[in-house]
Each structure stands twice: as structure tokens, then as C-alpha cells.
Amino acid sequence: MPDNMRLPKGQTRRGSPAASLSRFGWILWLVLLAALGVRVVTFALGDLLRQTNPSLAVLFDSGQSTARAVIAERVLQEDEALVQDAVSGAQNALRSNPLSARAMTVLGNVAEDKNDEAQAARLFERANRSSLRDLTPQLWLLQREIQAGNVSAAIDRLDVIFRGHEPGTLQPLISALSPMIVDARFRPGFAKLLQAETPWRKMVLREVSRGAKDIPGLNALFTALQAGSSPPDGDELKEYLNRLLQEGWVDQAYLVWSKSLPPDRLERLDYLYNARFQYPLTNLPFDWLMPSIQGALVGITTESARRVLNVDFFGGRVRFANVSHLLTLGPGAYKFSGQERAQNLNNERGLRWRIYCLEDPSGSIVASSPLSGDQTWREFSFDFKVPDENCRYQNLLLELPAQVVLETEISGGVSYANLKIQKTDMSEAEKSP
């Protein structure tokens, strides 16, 4: 071929064998890419559908072991007559994935139904080793350890279960396990485990406090914790203290709360703890309780070197009774005093302080004159007498004493500072309104 007819290096004439091979290579490459894409899509669809529609997942991906295990689970749950189908499905899942914990769990359940405890134990042990996040085998093994009285193994199992699962899963589980946690056999070991401040400690203490029926056992658990190296903090005590009060264990609640105080505060306990809001609020019983309520804002600020309680209302209907303090006053005469201020507080009745016996929440030992309108800072005080009987504990409550719905309309604000309760002569209390 003449030189002027030669093609540039790397190019071939159309229709030549080299050009045909090049086109064939590109076609083959595109086919492989398409096949790979289809395979990726089928894998993805199989993975996506394995829980919601496992049968369809298997159609997309015949090797989808999780979907096969899910199908086997459902077959076993829906019809006991189809046990063999469930077994076959679980075995197929294991052929696709020999480490499928769900498939081994299905076979373990079948073995248990046949009273083959040894085989069931082997399968559940294998499932547990395969996946620590699969709850079913862990609970089966936990039940076996509890029944066998193997306290140490049961405590270790609980630690693994609590560490490996999300709060949404743990909450009902802890409630169900509350009787075991406070049981005398397991309580010491569990209290020792809780001293380590595990990540799940707060949730366990909260749920056990809510769900345990054995109040003496619950009390023994918290007593052990308070005596240990890592006693419960305020958040961990809150549900427990509320439960004690709910069950009428007020003396025990006060004892637990007082033990939680730093030694310097315990030495200076007064008739009204944290009277001037000098300590951070805990919202625990025997301290100030200030739950939030729609239409009002309660807070503590610093003003002229004093700590001030402010309550602001934004207009609208508010059934306000959201500042309170549980008291432990013995029989006798007392004076409650402080400073108060009102800023454009518009309400037909105004706000007042009321002290009542815990045994009679709707009653009243004494109530202050209502505060409303505009009032610059002024002193206030009133005397009262705690009766000799049926009034071991009292509650101090700031409230809007509305009797009908229209009287709950309120706007503006009030402030209180330098609050104090002190003991007085009986003659002064008798002059109280």
C-alpha cells in the first residue's frame, strides 16, 4: 500500500478483521456490565425485601438466606402442621449461609418442641455465637440459665443483651425482666454489675423502678447501689423516688433522697430545702418540682445578687399548679415568708401559695392572699400550724385557684425570692388567716 494510503497507528479500516474484533470486544464489555448491573439490582432488591416480602426477595435472589429464614419462621408460627416445611426452609437458608442465626433459631425451636433440649441448646448456642444482636437465642439461653440457678452466667448474659440492643427493643424487655433483676438471688450480682456505670444503666434503673412489683426488692437494689462506689445520680433516682411515693413509702423516699445529698448540704438541711434556689434544681421530690406546662414559663434567674423564681403567662387558659415542694414538718407552728412581685398579672383570682397535708391533697392547712395586678417587690408572710395527726408530710404549692374554666385565663408574670420556713410560737400560728 502506498505510504499516502496508510492509516494512522492504532486505527484500522472499516470492515477489516481487526475492526470487527474491536467492536466485538466493546459489545462483550457492555453485555458484562449489563449482567453485572442486573445482578447488583437483584441482590439489592433481595436485601430490601427480605423482611417485608421474603418470598419476593427469594425470587429476586435465590441465595437470600435471611429471607428464607424469615419464611421458615413464619411457617413455624402460622401452622404447626408445616413443621417439616419450616425445617426444610431453615436448612436451605443454612446452605446459602451456614452462619444464619435466624435459621438456626428456627431449628432450635423445632428441637425444643420435640423435647430435644440438648439439640435445642446446641443450636441456640451456635445461633448466639453467630450473631450477638439476635435476641431470640440470647433470651432462650438466659431462661435456661435462670431455671438452672446459674446466677453468674445469667448476669453476664443480661450485660450482653443490654449492650447489644437499641432502647426501643430494651424497654419492654427490661420491664419483663424486672422481677428477676430485683429477685434476692440475682440482685447482688446485678447491683455489682451496675456499679460499673454501664451504658444501659440509666434505662434499666428507670424501667425497673416503673415495673417492679417487689418494692422491698427494688428498695434493696437501690440501697446496695447507694452504698457502692458509684451511687445513682438524680436522673437515676427520679423514677425510683416517684415510685416509692406512689406506693406510700414516703419515709423511705425521704431517706433515699437525703442520702443522695452532698455531705455539706445534708448538714445544713432546713425546713425548706433549696429555699433560695441556691442549688441547681433537680426536680426530685423534697426539692422544688417545676414541670413544664403549655401557656406558662417557669424559671430561675439572678437579680440583684439573689436567685429569683419567675412565672410568666402568655395569655390563654392555664390550669397552673406547677411549682411545688414536698415538706417534712413535724407538728407545730411555722411561718412561711419571702418577697413577691407581680407584673401586669391579669386574672380574676391571682396566684397563691397553699400548704396541705399529703394525705389530703384537696384540703388546706393554710393559703396565702392571692397576688395579681402590678406589685413592686414587697415582703410577705403567713403563719400556719401542722396538726398532730395524719399530716406526717406536707406539700407547698404555688397555684391558680380557678373554680371555673373562665378563671384560668391569665397573662403577665410573678416573681418570688428569699423564701423561708421557720418554726414559731403556737400563739403566732393561731393568728394565721
Q: Which CATH number fits domain 288-429: 2.60.120.260, 2.30.40.10, 3.40.50.150, 3.40.50.170?
A: 2.60.120.260
Closest among 414, 412, 400, 419 to 310, alpha carbons compared: 414
User: For the chain, what are the domain ranges?
Assistant: 49-267, 288-429
State the helix-helix crossing angle for 101-113 and 117-130, rounded to 10 degrees: 170
Quote the cell numbers at residue 360. 389530703
CA distances (Å), origin 162, targets 93, 133, 183 = 28, 10, 18
Contact 70, 54 (CB under 8 A): yes
**How far apart (Å, rounded) are the C-alpha atoms in residues 250 and 243?**
10
* Residues in Cβ contact with 79 at an 8 Å cutoff, skipping those fewer than 6 apart: none
Q: What is the pLDDT of residue 330?
A: 94
Grid coordinates representing 100 are 444464619
Residue-level pLDDT at 61: 40
CA 72 vs. chain centroid, Å, equals: 34
**pLDDT attached to residue 350:** 92
pTM reported for the whole predicted model = 0.72
Distance (Å) of CA 218 to CA 142, 215, 252: 21, 5, 12
Cell of 346: 391579669
- DSSP β-ladder status, 323-327 and 366-367: unpaired
Mean pLDDT of the chain: 80
Domain 49-267 CATH class label = mainly alpha
**pLDDT digit string (tens) for 8-21?**
554 545 555 555 55
Residue 75's SS3 state is: helix
pLDDT for 248: 92
Cell matching residue 120: 435445642
Q: Tens place of pLDDT for every residue, the chain, 433 residues?
A: 445 545 455 454 555 555 555 665 656 555 554 444 434 333 333 343 344 434 333 333 444 445 545 555 554 555 454 566 666 666 666 666 776 777 777 677 767 667 777 887 788 778 777 776 777 788 888 888 888 888 888 888 888 888 777 777 777 888 888 888 898 988 998 898 888 878 888 988 999 999 899 999 999 999 999 998 889 999 999 999 999 999 999 999 999 999 999 988 988 889 999 999 999 999 999 999 999 999 999 999 999 889 999 999 999 999 999 999 999 999 999 999 999 999 999 998 899 999 999 999 989 999 999 999 999 999 999 999 999 999 999 999 999 998 899 889 999 999 999 999 999 986 555 555 4
Q: What is the pLDDT of residues 68-81, one digit of tens each?
A: 455 555 545 554 54
Question: DSSP of 17-65, one letter per residue?
Answer: HHHHHHHHHHHHHHHHHHHHHHHHHHHHHHHHHTTT-HHHHHHH-TT-H
Angstrom distance (rounded) from CA 141 to CA 121: 8
Q: Which DSSP symbol is given to 416?
A: E
d(CA 368, CA 357): 16
